[in-house]
Structure 1
Amino acid sequence: MDRISFLPLEIKLSILSRVSIKQAVRTSALARSWRNIWTHLPCLDLNSERDPLGKTCNFRKFGSLYVVSPSWIQRVRRLVSSLQGPLSVFQLHFSGLCFFCSDECVLVRSLLDLLLQKGGVKTLDLAFYINPGKIHLPWFHSLQVLRLFGCHVALPTGFSGFHRLETLSMRYVQISNDDLNLLLRTSSNLISLVLSNCGTLQNPLSVNLSLPSLRHLEFTINDRTDYNLQNLSVVSFPCLEHAEIKYDRTDYNSQNLARMVLRLVTSVTMVSSLKLEFDVLKCLSLVILPFNFTIPRLRFLMFYLDVNTMDRKVYNAFFWLLRSMPFLEELQVDLKRVNYNQADRLAIPMKELLVEKHNGFACLERTVTSVTINMGKLDAIANIAWIQFFLLNAKGLKLLKIGYSDGGDMPSFIEVLQKAEVTSSDAKVMFFDRVTDQITKLEVRAKA
């Protein structure tokens, strides 16, 4: 008895959604009852690297790259035309080896217009690793998730907002100042926002972040931002729970960008989770930090630190952060691998600034119970000072986790650590290899 053919439509679609679109279409040959099942698929994931619609010969070789063939886009168009619609999810990804010619850009725009005719889409995910030219986004009234990578986009004429939009992610997107601000201003229900490397060199952005429903914010400042971002206006986010601020630059001397980073950090006062990736601390060390700044709800903090660029100003920025987080419970520190030609130079200032008792940190006195320190190689010169700082100052510490990718001379490292002064009687130290997940536990005892 053919039990599969008598399954409900919802279960059949659930099965087909777990295979490639090419395999889903082939199920039409199974039986008459399966002939048009695939046309009811709510999700369509197309990736040029996997090329589920044909062989890679559909991408014309151009040097070391591939030009997307019009025939491939035409097959995608015929595929979408056969779907009943509307779609819940539409993903169109092109690998780093593929790029478009002008003719293909027209086909992509016509494909988006076809999606609009089919009733729109709830999740739209477009990724182009080489910019395909300007794409005009149709007015998808039911759009809830919009993810764009490597696009040059423009909003439709008379655009009044994606009123159901909850997630917006834009990375390496060229968009005009007016369009970006209009999109943010009309997205009153936006919950998650990611902005990274957006704008154009000819049209510096002046971004106004005023989103009352926002819960997740990720903002990246790097070399392109210095040219692209002319003004950043930030207001308080009353519902914000998680924020990620990234500063990815090789030049740390820009006072303008340092003030921009400070403005972002001091505007996320309602978050419970904060990540400061790359070298935000180094950037903050360039400006005068306010002393009356607090994040009262913060429970988790992660920050990245380049040990090779440490100086007294960076430590002051780190101490300022700790003082502003009175109820911090969990802390994660990611240390960049030390340049061992500078290890001896770094050892003395690190010991002077860290390996001693410090006052004025309410979180270390009462609330911090878990600390994770991720490093490259275990060594007793450059990174031991950070471990000793928390063992010495975190009075309520219960677990100190040390992650590493190169064990180095672990016996010597453990020997130094066992001699460290420990304040918390409940403190336990655990090493874990980030490559093999091997765990080593170490007993440490509080000293009077």
Structure 2
Amino acid sequence: MAAEVDRISFLPLEIKIEILSRLRINHVVRTSALARSWRHLWTHLPCLNLSSDQDPLGNPRNDPTDTVPSSWIQRVHRLVSSLRGPLRVFQLFFSEPLDDESVLQSLLDLLLQKGGLQTLNLYFFNDPGKIHLPLFHSLKVLRLIGCHVALPIGFRGFLRLETLELYGVKISNDDLNLLLRTSNNLTSLVISNCGALENPLSVNLSLPLLRQLEFENEGFFENLSVVSSPCLEHAVIRLIDADCSSQNFAWMMLRLVTSVAMVSSLKLDFDVLKCLSLVALPFNFAIPRLRFLMFSLDVDTIDNTMATRVYDAFLWLLRSMPILEELEIELDSIEYHDQADRLAILMKELPIERHDSFACLERTVTSVTINMSSFDVTSIAWIQFFLLNAKGLELLKIGYFHGDDMPSFIEELQKVEVTSSDAKVMFFNSHTHQITNVYE
């Protein structure tokens, strides 16, 4: 029987490195035992993805005496030092308190010395202490979770940075503004639950190439607005445990929403609508390019007054969108039937009637999606509004999880007045993917 031909060993070096880059680090290192030609092949890896629940060489950390996180970082340091070529991607998941933050800083400085780093992802699930970001000249993607960040003296910016994502990062207001001001090639920006090291954060964004903005605030910002980002297309605004009854906070939300007036896609959560309902209704403004709007309603926290306020804020938004084409509504927590029944009673009192003051409903809205968990009168109220007012409506899609009440729900739905002669209503079960059509 002829010996098997070792075809893999004869592949070009670039192909073998590409194969190794798709394996876990422990499997990669083991390839050094395959043959003499493979002994140091892994040291040419351009990407490293490491987690503190494994040894840097990929072995599970089962030794109960191996509990010093700084020793683990030091072994990562030695691993990176062994690499012979530039490191393009480095990703680190670290879930333990760090007893010596200097070892982490030393690792970051080593990554700078290696050169060529394009993507840096650092995930910390316990406070690692403050780190100073080296000036990575080739960096295009930077994602940081759960760390203190400071910029070095003389920081001139990541001139090639295109994606910046900050989650739970503590950073001074001066450093955050400097980082954003010197990142003129940013196309995507996420700021989520970031806090200042002294006073609340305040940022005015002026990014010429920015296309996507996601902002999630837990009360650490006193101001965020878009001053000049002419390429901005998509914006997502969420609030978490924020004081939505605060007038100051509500004014901040109004400034932010009105400052993204040139986007074509906007996503808002329930708390943003609550804030807008406090201060926005007397003002007229326009989002002239908006074609897609998504917002959510949290029925667990709504009462009679709040239901009316949120509905009024929704109408206020709708009037500002003259070319809106697609709308998606998330009705959260409807599965709690006691809450759903209570909200159903409240929504019955809302004036679901015909409106003639919405340019988008007159001409451009063709698609509406309403996602919910189960059927109730609340859903009928929203469905009734669009069937009654959207003259060009082509598709109303209703997504749901539990369909026990569907027959009676469809019976009620067929009593609703429909303005558009082209309107189709489609039910979509998110669990079984079953589709049921009405008004075809």
What TM-score comes out, normalization by structure 2 length? Answer: 0.92
CA gap of 1:50–1:330, structure 2 versus 1, over 3 A, is: farther
For 2:235, the equivalent position in structure 1 comes to 243
What TM-score comes out, normalization by structure 1 length? Answer: 0.90
Letter of the aligned partner of 2:41 in structure 1?
Answer: I
In structure 2, which of residues 401, 406, 424 is the aligned counterpart of residue 428 of structure 1?
Answer: 424
CA gap of 1:280–1:200, structure 2 versus 1, over 3 A, is: same
Tell whether the 8 Å contact from 2:233 to 2:262 is kept in structure 1 after alignment: yes
In structure 1, which of residues 134, 138, 141 is the aligned counterpart of residue 137 of structure 2?
Answer: 141
CA gap of 1:321–1:89, structure 2 versus 1, over 3 A, is: same
For 1:64, the equivalent position in structure 2 comes to none
Letter of the aligned partner of 1:77 in structure 2?
Answer: H
Q: What is the SS of the residue equivalent to 1:26?
A: helix
For 1:13, the equivalent position in structure 2 comes to 17
For 2:388, the equivalent position in structure 1 comes to 392
For 2:74, the equivalent position in structure 1 comes to 74
Aligned length: 430
Tell whether the 8 Å contact from 1:236 to 1:268 is kept in structure 2 after alignment: no
Q: Which residues of 2 match residues 260-409 of structure 1 at below 5 A?
A: 260-289=252-281, 291-307=283-299, 309=302, 310-338=306-334, 340-341=337-338, 343=340, 346-347=343-344, 349-353=346-350, 355-379=352-376, 381-409=377-405
Q: Which residues of 2 match residues 6-85 of structure 1 at below 5 A?
A: 6-49=10-53, 53-57=58-62, 69-85=69-85
For 2:439, the equivalent position in structure 1 comes to 444
For 1:108, the equivalent position in structure 2 comes to 104
Tell whether the 8 Å contact from 1:152 to 1:173 is kept in structure 2 after alignment: yes
The C-alpha deviation readout for 1:34-81, integer Å capped at 9, x for no partner, is 2222111111111224656222236769xxxxx553332222111101
The structural deviation recorded for 1:92 is: 0.3
Letter of the aligned partner of 1:165 in structure 2?
Answer: L
Q: Which residues of 2 match residues 152-171 of structure 1 at below 5 A?
A: 152-171=148-167
Tell whether the 8 Å contact from 2:69 to 2:99 is kept in structure 1 after alignment: no
CA gap of 1:290–1:192, structure 2 versus 1, over 3 A, is: farther
How far apart, CA to CA, are the structure 1 residues paired with 2:54 and 2:359? 53
Letter of the aligned partner of 1:376 in structure 2?
Answer: S
In structure 1, which of residues 250, 254, 260 is the aligned counterpart of residue 246 of structure 2?
Answer: 254
Structure 1 vs Structure 2 CA RMSD: 2.1
Larger mean CA deviation between 67-76 and 30-39 belongs to 67-76
Q: 2:87 aligned with 1:91, yes or no?
A: no
Q: What is the SS of the residue equivalent to 2:89?
A: strand
For 2:214, the equivalent position in structure 1 comes to 218
How far apart, CA to CA, are the structure 2 residues paired with 1:109 and 1:323? 52
For 1:198, the equivalent position in structure 2 comes to 194
Q: What is the SS of the residue equivalent to 1:23?
A: helix
How far apart, CA to CA, are the structure 1 residues paired with 2:11 and 2:167? 42
The structural deviation recorded for 1:344 is: 5.4
Calculate percent identity across the aligned residue pairs: 68
The structural deviation recorded for 1:231 is: 3.8
For 2:174, the equivalent position in structure 1 comes to 178
CA gap of 1:423–1:231, structure 2 versus 1, over 3 A, is: closer
How far apart, CA to CA, are the structure 2 residues paired with 1:49 and 1:391? 54
How far apart, CA to CA, are the structure 2 residues paired with 1:368 and 1:350? 23
Q: What is the SS of the residue equivalent to 2:190?
A: strand
The C-alpha deviation readout for 1:378-415, integer Å capped at 9, x for no partner, is 22x22211111111111111111111122241211111
Larger mean CA deviation between 25-34 and 235-244 belongs to 25-34
Residue ranges of structure 1 left out of the alignment (5+ in a row)? 62-66
